[in-house]
Structure 1
Amino acid sequence: MQIQDARQALRIPPLLRLGFRPFFLAGTLLAALAVPLWLLALHGGLADGAPRGGWLAWHRHELLFGFAGAIIAGFLLTAVQTWTGRPGRPGLSGTPLALLLLLWLLARVAWWWGGAGLLLVSSLAFFAGVALVMARTLWAVRQTRNYPIVGVLLLLMAADGLSLLGVLQHNDAWQRQGVLAAIWLVAAMMGLIGGRVIPFFTQRGLGREQAVQPWAWLDWAVLLGSVLLAVLHASGLALQPRAWLGALLLALAAAHGVRLWRWFDAQLLRMPLLWSLHLAYAWLLVACLGLALWHLGLFAGFSQALHALTVGSMGGLILAMLARVSLGHTGRPLELPRGFALAFALLNLGALARVFGVSLAYLPALWLAAAAWTLAFAAYLYWYAPMLLRGRIDGRPG
């Protein structure tokens, strides 16, 4: 039966053999195009081709629900087979995977073509489809440890609905509430998944006998704190500075700091596949501190602190995970393509420019951040797209 399954899997075009292939490719392409398009639109260069709801609405939504949503889907749909102890069982592939990809593509296109209903239905159906596949796979083996992932996906779908209703009703407050809620839900996912894979990858990369053992209470504190912030933003309570929210964010920053301290080993600084992960997680700490200071009335740069989370941490962790997961799941050694470490440096340069540089020279820093971001993800496409479009080098399915 396994031989027959393998033969059938190898008949599927490589791009549709596992979730990471189409969604890493599509999500990264969107990331590389969306930021320069937004800056061109911001400076009046694309006035005649505005998407539904305007360029700001599109920018808010697409870099989160489009780009990050695609990467989350690709990672989860690929990793869940290993998590459930069924790596030999075929994951979502072939026609079902193509249909899920089609939903994602329809949601991107619907900003310009198709009715308002198409935008709302296709975007929500995409997240519902990912959540359903995850729920069925986890339920099959009663793996309760990963049930929170399904919950976060459903909350992300609800935040998407709130954001898109804001777009369709021309309600800017709903848009902001939905997007900010989703940012913290992605942060919750980063804390949940990162809390597992970063110490594990560090252990493997440094040749340790075992990874740093997690503290369950700390893991739950990070998860629940991030979800609570998502709910508070969705309700609108967190849109204005509040001292008690500053205290919550300081506590969350401390939790992330303890995690980083426990995971750190000076040897990882010599390995781009490791320091890129740790540095991206450190940006999450910076974001929590900056937003805490904003709520406490000690810092005026809400947008800067928020971009520490979205550009530095979210973008950085995504790029680092893309680089590693794509190697492992295409059967390649965990060795970066020559020169690819520059992409990690560019991403972090872009984060520095967007978070700190804009206070010194706004427009030059903004363009520098956009160029660095775009080049970093274009580098991934250049080196990794051929891997995603071809079969595994060991001849196995997947």
Structure 2
Amino acid sequence: MGSLKHVPLWSLGFRPFFLAGAMFACVALAVWGLWLYGHFPQAQATVGMLAWHRHEMPFGFATAIIGGFLLTAVPNWTGRPGLSGWPLLGLLLVWLAARLAWWLPIPQSGLLALQLPFLPLLVLVLGRELMAAGKRDNYPILVVLALLAGCQALTLAGIAQDDAGLQRRGALAALWLIAALMSVIGGRVIPFFIQRGLNRTNGAVGHPRQTQALLIASLLAALLIGTGFNEVPQPWLAALYALIGTLHLLRLWRWYDRGIWRVPLLWSLYLAYAWLLIAVLAMALWQLGVLPQQSLATHSLAVGGMGGLILAMIARVSLGHTGRPLKPSSAVSLGFALVLLAGVCRVFVVPFASIGLGLSVVLWCAAFAVFVQGYTRTLLTPRQ
């Protein structure tokens, strides 16, 4: 029984969670798109598909990738062994049970209960390792994960009470918490990847104070959304999003190197991060009453930012941690472009033509399908 940790798939967290998360990204968006066009039955009759979509994109898809990344990164930060073998399989099964529960004939109370354990278990596993190694500078990540669990509880409470407003608050607050994580992790790794990928001796470096400012501002934005301040536009809140946008813009300016356009693993990260800037500027415009739909800001963050950064990161991390050359196939490089185009269709085409929604779904699914097709063997086989 103990030999399971020697099976490549269960040797480190990124392998099963990146693969499962990418597969789920394809399936979940395909289901959502088919339902929108009247070709797929609803999830649990007591819940509804909009509630399912709101919950599953941040708490199903994104948390799988976040979990896989952190279960791999924390051992590097601490020098301690990562979760592997049967405990890793068990954690994946907890995540998988939550995804399947929406389609099983079980009481709503059972469905909601199955959603809750994954994030607290992830906090427990990661917190134990960080505390044992005394890595206090990484404790904010645990705080963000704990707040994500709180947002999930808020979303599930909205589902239990059939309160669409509560559901929306929980899901949107979770998206901005994920943006906070992307800001923190992106601020650490993107300049390093650019410097290393282009062999620059004096490339951009991370700025800890700027990262702290982005983290605090993003947490404040999530808190205000979760507590209901975002139900209607609040002009004074535009200043908060303008501040976040300024910090993102400074990063993008400092990180820029024209050499990135020759390296798909770099331009994909850079352009995906730029979607965070688009999202916060769109939120500022919505707060000022200039932008009519907050959903455009939300999907800038969710599709272009979250989707784009996740795809680029899992492609890069999977190659690096399996000892492969850091050169994705041309198909995977095309996938990077497809997910960014999915963001363009969802944000810039949908307001003018409804076909943009269908195009966005197809492009997203194709992008993650390319990853699954190109990386399944890599994730299932030993390190080279």
The separation in 2 between residues aligned to 1:151 and 1:95, in whole angstroms, is 27
The residue that corresponds to 2:7 in the other structure is 13
SS at match of 2:230: helix
Question: What is the letter of the counterpart of residue 94 of structure 2?
Answer: L
Instruction: Return the match for 2:226 from 234, 240, 255.
Output: 234
Native 8 Å contact 2:4 2:86 kept in 1? no
The separation in 1 between residues aligned to 2:26 and 2:3, in whole angstroms, is 31
The separation in 2 between residues aligned to 1:330 and 1:228, in whole angstroms, is 37
Native 8 Å contact 1:9 1:17 kept in 2? no
Native 8 Å contact 1:120 1:161 kept in 2? no
The residue that corresponds to 2:62 in the other structure is 68
What is the deviation of 1:52? 4.4
Deviations 1:170-218 (A, max 9, x none): 1111101100110010000000100000011111101122552333321
What is the deviation of 1:302? 1.4
Native 8 Å contact 2:98 2:111 kept in 1? yes
Native 8 Å contact 1:283 1:313 kept in 2? yes
Does residue 223 in structure 1 map to residue 205 in structure 2? no
The residue that corresponds to 2:73 in the other structure is 79
What is the deviation of 1:241? 0.1
The residue that corresponds to 2:266 in the other structure is 274
The residue that corresponds to 2:243 in the other structure is 251
Question: What is the letter of the counterpart of residue 207 of structure 2?
Answer: W
What is the deviation of 1:92? 0.1
What is the deviation of 1:43? 2.5
Native 8 Å contact 1:184 1:227 kept in 2? yes
The residue that corresponds to 2:98 in the other structure is 107
SS at match of 1:339: helix
The separation in 2 between residues aligned to 1:11 and 1:182, in whole angstroms, is 32
The residue that corresponds to 2:342 in the other structure is 350
What is the deviation of 1:108? 0.7
The residue that corresponds to 1:396 in the other structure is none
Native 8 Å contact 1:51 1:58 kept in 2? no
Instruction: Return the match for 2:282 from 290, 295, 298.
Output: 290
Does residue 29 in structure 1 map to residue 23 in structure 2? yes
The separation in 2 between residues aligned to 1:339 and 1:67, in whole angstroms, is 22
Native 8 Å contact 1:284 1:308 kept in 2? yes
Native 8 Å contact 1:344 1:376 kept in 2? yes
Native 8 Å contact 1:124 1:161 kept in 2? yes
What is the deviation of 1:121? 3.1
- Segments of 4+ moved more than 6 angstroms: none
Native 8 Å contact 2:192 2:205 kept in 1? no
The residue that corresponds to 2:83 in the other structure is 92
SS at match of 1:193: helix
The separation in 1 between residues aligned to 2:46 and 2:73, in whole angstroms, is 35
The separation in 1 between residues aligned to 2:126 and 2:163, in whole angstroms, is 32
SS at match of 2:331: coil
The separation in 2 between residues aligned to 1:125 and 1:30, in whole angstroms, is 19
What is the deviation of 1:158? 0.5
SS at match of 1:356: helix
Q: How many residues align?
A: 382
The separation in 1 between residues aligned to 2:60 and 2:249, in whole angstroms, is 29
Aligned ranges 1:306-317 → 2 under 5 Å = 306-317=298-309
What is the deviation of 1:9? 6.7
SS at match of 1:237: coil
The separation in 2 between residues aligned to 1:289 and 1:68, in whole angstroms, is 23
Instruction: Return the match for 2:371 from 371, 380, 383.
Output: 380
User: Judging changes above 3 Å, is the alpha-carbon distance between structure 1 residues 149 and 31 closer, same or farther for their aligned structure 2 residues?
Assistant: same
Does residue 369 in structure 1 map to residue 380 in structure 2? no
User: Judging changes above 3 Å, is the alpha-carbon distance between structure 1 residues 52 and 14 closer, same or farther for their aligned structure 2 residues?
Assistant: farther
User: Judging changes above 3 Å, is the alpha-carbon distance between structure 1 residues 9 and 150 closer, same or farther for their aligned structure 2 residues?
Assistant: farther
Question: What is the letter of the counterpart of residue 274 of structure 2?
Answer: A
What is the deviation of 1:295? 0.4
The separation in 1 between residues aligned to 2:371 and 2:171, in whole angstroms, is 26
Instruction: Return the match for 1:145 from 134, 137, 144.
Output: 137
What is the deviation of 1:46? 2.3
State which drifts further: 35-44 or 261-270. 35-44
* Unaligned stretches of 5+ residues in structure 2: none
RMSD over aligned Cα, in angstroms? 1.5
Deviations 1:309-359 (A, max 9, x none): 000000000000011001011111111123321001111111111110112
The residue that corresponds to 1:167 in the other structure is 159
Question: What is the letter of the counterpart of residue 370 of structure 1?
Answer: V
User: Judging changes above 3 Å, is the alpha-carbon distance between structure 1 residues 48 and 265 closer, same or farther for their aligned structure 2 residues?
Assistant: closer
The separation in 2 between residues aligned to 1:203 and 1:296, in whole angstroms, is 38
Aligned ranges 1:185-224 → 2 under 5 Å = 185-209=177-201, 211-224=203-216
What is the deviation of 1:134? 1.0
The separation in 2 between residues aligned to 1:346 and 1:190, in whole angstroms, is 20
What is the deviation of 1:11? 5.6
Question: What is the letter of the counterpart of residue 306 of structure 1?
Answer: T
* Unaligned stretches of 5+ residues in structure 1: 1-7, 394-398
Native 8 Å contact 1:51 1:111 kept in 2? no
Native 8 Å contact 1:128 1:154 kept in 2? yes
The separation in 2 between residues aligned to 1:240 and 1:234, in whole angstroms, is 13
